[in-house]
């Protein structure tokens, strides 16, 4: 029996910061101190607080060490694990108070969260099936196969109010019901683990931290609709997730939790992986299925919908990783338990990837109906450097910007749509007063243009025309007629594109036009970028009264654009200036400003 357990984050973020080396050093130091039989080192998935990685938690006292370095390990082992003295200076500072060390659950980042989809992430070793089983894993599958009919399963999902967590929020139980009603000699269950939104890493973290929950849920789905084969479509850019899925599938087969005659009930179900090459359009369900079939990933017209004619022309259901991660807990705890969380039309919790201008970048899971202010100011720790909140982008390239005037909006599907945004898969990018909203819209549209499959003209050509107009605006070359044309194009593309990529591509433009039209007009009418971001509209100026002639700016100018002699005021040659901002950054007297 181990006296202590040391949990080290093995998610992508912490891995990139050196957690594998930390684990190796931990094991070496534990062996040196003769603690091998007393202390277990466990690699887990993401703990959520990615800004402070690599993360290490020592149990049973739950000491939370953050930003751990390899050179810190000998001290942690000799002081904490051997002598029982917590190394306070390495603890997450939010847990340290004048009265001692407080529980992690009481910190601002964690206390308003409620983990359902993420319940095992950061808690178990995702590469050991016994740890998943030890937390109640595969009990839901056992209950379904031995105590429930397929209709019972679908009804509990309908009663729970679970909506798809991948974008549009379609009721999960209804999707399964439609697929069950279609008779066919073969049906399929698919998992969308493609997750292509910039700044989104929710599904990746679930797969890295708790892969078996997806396998269990897909098997439950197969039983409910009458399918015996599942496919997980995961992008090859997620190597840790892919490897842990492979391990999980092999372990589940070995335990007869996948394959033939599961639990001796006569039910057969197996799962295979299909790797995506990173095409954003393959996040759209019909394009994803086309890619699984080995064809070019392009969307198909709907109807027929996948529940009628999907993968290989057979009835198919497709849900994303987070949707599946909720299902075993709904089966075990009941529909009323899940429906008690969230809002009237948006039940349960939602996982968000917090990024951008915010202190606590990372992964959070909150009940639906939590306000944007609570997420950003309390959980996220607010905006760094005393800056003001300007907007938050939800839904990635398919979503929209939420301005400060809606800072107190409760987050759920319908509320976000009503203000011109959408839930999407759960990326939440925070922007402050230094961000240009025209430039933000241009950034997302550049992404969409690059990722369009080109199958339909409105998306292939229309988004490119939109990008051309936005580029003109950011260069101060546009007219108000261009702005009208941009808005007209937005609505045309939304109404006439074949799939969700094109239909939602104008959303970032429309939402920024709705709330930040004054910024567009400043670019057009005044040839000025209010945030000082658009380089073509920028100029750097030296205040002759403040300049001391120290030459520091001239020595750091990469273009040789600053002219002047020692102890005399300098000037900037605007024809040579590349507007990099190095001069303003280096000036110690505040003599350089941008206009």
Per residue in 320-355, pLDDT tens? 999 999 999 999 999 999 999 999 999 999 999 999
Please tell me the predicted confidence (pLDDT) of residue 103.
81
Tell me whether strands 571-572 and 389-394 are parallel, antiparallel or unpaired. unpaired
Candidates 303, 290, 295, 216; CA nearest to 257 is: 216
CA 199 to chain centre: 5
Please tell me the predicted confidence (pLDDT) of residue 424.
83
pLDDT tops 70 at residue 47 = yes
Q: Where are the alpha helices (DSSP H) in 33-101?
A: 73-75
Rounded CA gap, 344 and 429, in Å? 26
Which domains, from first to last, does the chain contain?
Answer: 4-105 (3.40.30.10), 129-338 (3.40.50.11540), 349-432 (3.10.20.600), 437-525 (1.20.1440.230), 539-594 (3.30.70.20)
Please tell me the predicted confidence (pLDDT) of residue 97.
76
Q: What percent of the chain has pLDDT over 90?
A: 90
What is the distance in angstroms between the CA of the first residue and the CA of the last residue of the chain? 66
Please tell me the predicted confidence (pLDDT) of residue 573.
92
Look-up: residue for tokens 């990139």? 16
pLDDT tops 90 at residue 508 = yes
Rounded CA gap, 147 and 144, in Å? 6
Tell me the pLDDT tens digit for each residue of 87-141.
999 999 888 877 677 788 889 999 999 999 999 999 999 999 999 999 999 999 9
Tell me the pLDDT tens digit for each residue of 263-317.
999 999 999 999 999 899 999 999 999 999 999 999 999 899 999 999 999 999 9
Please tell me the predicted confidence (pLDDT) of residue 595.
81
Please tell me the predicted confidence (pLDDT) of residue 41.
96
Between 378 and 196, residue with greater pLDDT? 378
Look-up: residue for tokens 């509209």? 537
Rounded CA gap, 207 and 320, in Å? 11
Tell me the pLDDT tens digit for each residue of 197-226.
888 899 999 999 999 999 999 999 999 999
Rounded CA gap, 289 and 297, in Å? 8
Specify whether the CB–CB gap between 285 and 193 falls below 8 A.
no
pLDDT tops 70 at residue 163 = yes
| CA distance to 155, 217, 315, 344, 413, per residue, from 179 (Å) | 14, 16, 6, 26, 24
Q: Tell me if residue 307 falls in helix, strand or coil.
A: coil
What is the sign of the dihedral through the CA atoms of 509, 512, 517 and 520?
A: negative
151-164 mean pLDDT: 98
Rounded mean pLDDT of the chain?
94
Please tell me the predicted confidence (pLDDT) of residue 1.
58
Rounded CA gap, 42 and 191, in Å? 28
Rounded CA gap, 501 and 194, in Å? 14
Structural tokens at position 306: 């996948």
pLDDT tops 90 at residue 166 = no
């Amino acid at each position: 029996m181990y006296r202590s357990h040391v949990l080290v984050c093995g998610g992508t973020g912490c891995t990139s910061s050196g957690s594998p080396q930390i684990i190796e050093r931990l094991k070496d130091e534990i062996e040196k101190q003769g603690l091998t039989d007393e202390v277990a080192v466990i690699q887990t998935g993401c703990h959520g607080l990615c800004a402070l990685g690599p993360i290490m938690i020592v149990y049973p006292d739950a000491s939370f060490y953050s930003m751990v370095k390899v050179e810190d390990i000998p001290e942690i082992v000799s002081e904490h694990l051997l002598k029982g003295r917590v190394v306070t200076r390495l603890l997450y500072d939010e847990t340290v108070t004048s009265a001692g060390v407080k529980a992690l659950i009481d910190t601002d980042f964690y206390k308003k969260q409620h983990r359902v989809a993420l319940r095992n992430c950061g808690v178990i070793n995702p590469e050991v099936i016994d740890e998943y089983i030890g937390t109640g894993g595969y009990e839901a599958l056992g209950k379904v196969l031995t105590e429930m009919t397929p209709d019972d399963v679908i009804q509990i999902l309908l009663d729970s109010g679970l909506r798809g967590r991948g974008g549009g929020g379609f009721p999960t139980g209804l999707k399964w019901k439609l697929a069950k009603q279609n008779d066919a000699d073969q049906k399929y269950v698919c998992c969308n683990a493609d997750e292509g939104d910039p700044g989104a890493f929710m599904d990746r973290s679930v797969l890295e931290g708790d892969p078996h929950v997806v396998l269990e849920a897909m098997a439950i789905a197969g039983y409910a609709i009458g399918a015996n084969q599942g496919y997980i479509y995961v992008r090859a850019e997620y190597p840790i997730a892919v490897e842990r899925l492979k391990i999980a599938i092999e372990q589940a087969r070995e335990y007869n939790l996948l394959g033939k005659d599961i639990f001796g009930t006569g039910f057969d179900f197996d799962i295979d992986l299909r790797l995506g090459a990173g095409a954003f359009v393959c996040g759209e369900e019909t394009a994803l299925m086309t890619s699984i079939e080995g064809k070019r990933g392009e969307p198909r017209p709907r109807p027929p919908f996948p529940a009628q004619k999907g993968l290989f022309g057979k009835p198919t259901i497709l849900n994303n990783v987070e949707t599946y991660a909720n299902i075993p807990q709904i089966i075990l705890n009941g529909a009323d338990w899940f429906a008690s969380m969230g809002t009237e039309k948006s039940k349960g919790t939602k996982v968000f990837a917090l990024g951008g201008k915010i202190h606590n970048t990372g992964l959070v899971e909150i009940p639906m109906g939590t306000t944007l202010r609570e997420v950003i100011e309390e959980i996220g720790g607010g905006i760094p450097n005393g800056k003001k909140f300007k907007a938050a982008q939800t839904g990635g390239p398919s979503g929209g910007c939420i301005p400060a005037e809606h800072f107190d909006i409760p987050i759920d599907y319908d509320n976000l749509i009503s203000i011109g945004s959408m839930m999407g898969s759960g990326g939440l990018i925070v922007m402050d007063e230094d961000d240009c909203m025209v430039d933000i819209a241009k950034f997302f549209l550049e992404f969409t243009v690059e990722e369009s499959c080109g199958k339909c003209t409105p998306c292939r050509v229309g988004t490119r025309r939109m990008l051309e107009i936005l580029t003109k605006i950011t260069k101060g070359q546009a007219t108000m007629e261009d702005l009208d044309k941009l808005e007209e194009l937005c609505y045309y593309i939304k109404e006439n594109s074949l799939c969700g990529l094109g239909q939602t591509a104008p959303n970032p433009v429309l939402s920024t036009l709705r709330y930040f039209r004054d910024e567009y007009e400043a670019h057009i009418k005044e040839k000025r970028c209010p945030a000082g971001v658009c380089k073509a509209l920028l100029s750097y100026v030296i205040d002759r009264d403040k300049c001391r002639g120290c030459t520091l700016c001239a020595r750091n100018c990469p273009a040789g654009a600053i002219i002047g002699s020692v102890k005399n005021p300098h000037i900037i040659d605007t024809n040579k200036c590349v507007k990099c901002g190095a001069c303003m950054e280096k000036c110690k007297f505040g003599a350089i400003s941008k206009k």
